[in-house]
């Protein structure tokens, strides 16, 4: 089963088809609107390796100060997402808001 949508079976190289997301986030106009220069890739080994030490750590104490400094964030949590599931995020969100 997919880790991004546990209701579905795996398909494609990363077990999910990210092509629509990649096209959207790499659109020149969209990149300009969200203010990014780098090309979006759905699975970056460089990013993964850089963040591996942070797996299973709680950052709920440090994030409020980032928000107070005006840093914009996106918290993604899906109902059927094994990796970014709403249950694991629910206690985190209540501490932030």
Q: List pLDDT tens digits, range 27-80.
A: 999 999 999 999 998 888 888 888 888 777 777 777 788 888 988 777 667 778
Q: How many other C-beta atoms can be found within 10 angstroms of the C-beta atom of residue 65?
A: 9
Q: List the single range of 21-25, 60-64, 87-91 with lowest mean pLDDT.
A: 87-91
Q: How many other C-beta atoms can be found within 10 angstroms of the C-beta atom of residue 74?
A: 5
- Tokens at residue 74, please? 């996106």
Residue 92 has pLDDT above 60, yes or no: no
Nearest to 47 by CA among 36, 58, 55: 55
Q: What is the pLDDT at residue 76? A: 67
Q: What is the pLDDT at residue 29? A: 96
């Amino acid at each position: 089963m997919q880790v991004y949508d546990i209701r579905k079976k795996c398909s494609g190289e990363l077990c999910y088809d990210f092509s629509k997301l990649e096209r959207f986030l790499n659109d020149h106009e969209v990149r300009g609107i969200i203010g990014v220069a780098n090309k979006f890739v759905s699975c970056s080994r460089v990013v993964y390796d850089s963040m591996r030490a942070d797996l299973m750590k709680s950052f709920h104490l440090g994030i409020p100060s980032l928000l107070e400094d005006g840093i914009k964030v996106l918290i993604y949590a899906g109902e059927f997402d094994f990796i970014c599931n709403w249950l694991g995020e629910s206690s985190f969100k209540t501490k932030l808001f």
